[in-house]
């Protein structure tokens, strides 16, 4: 295929990834990287570089809409970004050390775990005591509901902060926003409502990706001819997804999250062990 056809296909894949990323907080990169690598044969490191650019675009597109609508918890996002940024820098430095086949397996394992955990229903948090650190940092918040603001309390701040370092490490190592890990840390550990978790994740992933994108750029892993259609596709898809989130049902979002992430996880693990990723 010629350059125009290739760019068109990349744009279409990226738009679908951006739409999904905006709805679930995945950030689009979790779909773009395996799609470019497995379907189009792009070198995985260049795919990860383009994916990081797309993650920044997703955050810029969808996050602005979510903040305006009152879904994102800005204080939680800024606090947790300290951990994810440090992890992203460490992960980006490890990219040239770890073989691509191993990266694919790690990528798939992280996503498979994310898919399995997300299928479990929300835990009961009514009997838990308020988190003192969350209260001191004023992390509790509210989001728009059908009958007015729905208030919630943030739990287990220290545990969530620790997991965010792991999320940042995966982001820099795999060239994704690591939205899956961020959503699960906020939803499962910190007991933040799923819609707030996904929208806050979209707010955070751009900062996390930017922290490692500079390292990818300095090593020549960001190719403008590939990154541009990926960025434009993900940005347009993320804006469309942001408009549909408010009316989406939480259970449906969880099922969509698990189905897409699970399928990609299995394919990446298989390709890593079979040598399909080089």
14-23 pLDDT, tens digit per residue, is 888 778 766 7
141-184 pLDDT, tens digit per residue, is 888 887 888 899 998 899 999 988 988 887 777 766 666 678 77
Higher pLDDT, 10 or 106: 10
Query: What total number of domains does the chain contain?
Result: 1
- Model confidence at 9, pLDDT cuts 50, 70, 90, reads very high
Q: Rounded to two decimals, what is the model's pTM?
A: 0.69
Question: What is residue 1's predicted lDDT score, i.e. its pLDDT?
Answer: 72
Length of the chain: 278
Where in the sequence is the domain holding 53, given as residue range(s)?
A: 3-274
Q: Which of 54, 97, 47, 8 is nearest to 277 (CA)?
A: 47
27-60 pLDDT, tens digit per residue, is 666 778 878 887 888 888 888 888 888 777 766 6
Contact 273, 116 (CB under 8 A): no
Contact 24, 167 (CB under 8 A): no
∠ at Cα 179 (228, 10), nearest 5°?
25
């Amino acid at each position: 295929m010629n350059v125009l056809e290739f760019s068109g296909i990349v744009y279409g894949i990226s738009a679908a990834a951006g739409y999904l990323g905006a709805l679930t907080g995945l950030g689009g990169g979790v779909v773009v990287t395996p799609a470019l690598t497995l379907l189009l044969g792009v070198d995985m490191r260049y795919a990860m570089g383009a994916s990081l650019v797309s993650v920044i675009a997703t955050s810029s597109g969808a996050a602005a809409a979510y903040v305006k609508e009152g879904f994102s918890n800005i204080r939680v996002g800024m606090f947790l970004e300290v951990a994810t940024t440090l992890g992203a820098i460490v992960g980006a430095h490890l990219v040239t050390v770890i073989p691509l086949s191993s990266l694919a397996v790690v990528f798939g394992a992280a996503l498979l775990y994310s898919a399995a955990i997300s299928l479990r229903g929300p835990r009961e948090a009514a009997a838990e005591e308020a988190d003192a650190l969350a209260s001191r940092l004023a992390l509790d918040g509210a989001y728009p509901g059908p009958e007015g603001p729905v208030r919630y309390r943030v739990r287990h701040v220290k545990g969530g902060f620790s997991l965010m370092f792991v999320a940042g490490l995966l982001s820099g190592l795999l060239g994704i926003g690591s939205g899956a890990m961020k959503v699960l840390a906020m939803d499962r550990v910190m007991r933040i409502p799923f819609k707030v978790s996904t929208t806050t994740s979209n707010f955070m992933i751009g900062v996390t990706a930017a922290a490692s994108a500079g390292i990818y750029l300095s090593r020549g892993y960001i190719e403008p001819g590939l990154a541009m259609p990926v960025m434009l596709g993900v940005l347009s898809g993320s804006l469309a997804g942001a408009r549909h989130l408010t009316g989406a049902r939480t259970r449906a979002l969880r099922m969509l999250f698990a189905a897409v992430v699970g399928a990609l996880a299995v394919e990446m693990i298989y390709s890593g062990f079979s040598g399909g990723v080089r």
